[in-house]
Amino acid sequence: MKHLIIISALIMLSATACKKDYPVDDDGLLITPRAECYVSNFELLGADYVTVLTKSPVIDTTAQTVNVTVQFGTDLKNLFPQFTLATDCKLDPKIVGKVDFSDLANPKQYTVISGNRQIQKTYKVLITVQPR
């Protein structure tokens, strides 16, 4: 009987110890009071995980665009984008592997969501291929 009381006490104690003090979103990420919502840097890697950019990206936080120029001959169907976002932001859709950027007339769009999950800004990734 004594063991049953001890086990019950431990279960109750562990249940209260796991109580979440901070809210989290559907992805398990902490929701914070931060309202900042922007892209601060962008990288585009080829299938070999080496940059395909010819110069630094031009990020316009007002127009919400990311303009990049890639090397001539880049395989636009097999690229790995990497975003650097403001603190506590998240990206939708999530990047889980290679991305096809070959349809240059219809730029890929990514939504940056603020840490407080109240502000969303959709950025277009505009790609130019360097001439020969």
Domain ranges of the chain: 23-129
Sign of CA dihedral 107, 67, 42, 73: positive
Condensed to tens digits (0 to 9), the pLDDT of residues 77-108 reads 999 999 999 999 999 999 999 999 999 999 99
Token digits of residue 28:
């398990």
Class of domain 23-129: mainly beta
What does each C-alpha distance from 75 to 16, 22, 37, 104 come to in angstroms?
Answer: 53, 43, 30, 13
- pLDDT bin (cut points 50, 70, 90) of residue 38 is very high
Decide which of 43 and 8 is more confident.
Answer: 43
Report the pLDDT averaged over residues 58-72. Answer: 98
129 and 68 in contact (C-beta within 8 Å)? no
Kindly tell me if the per-residue pLDDT of 11 is higher than 70. no
- State residue 132's pLDDT score: 86
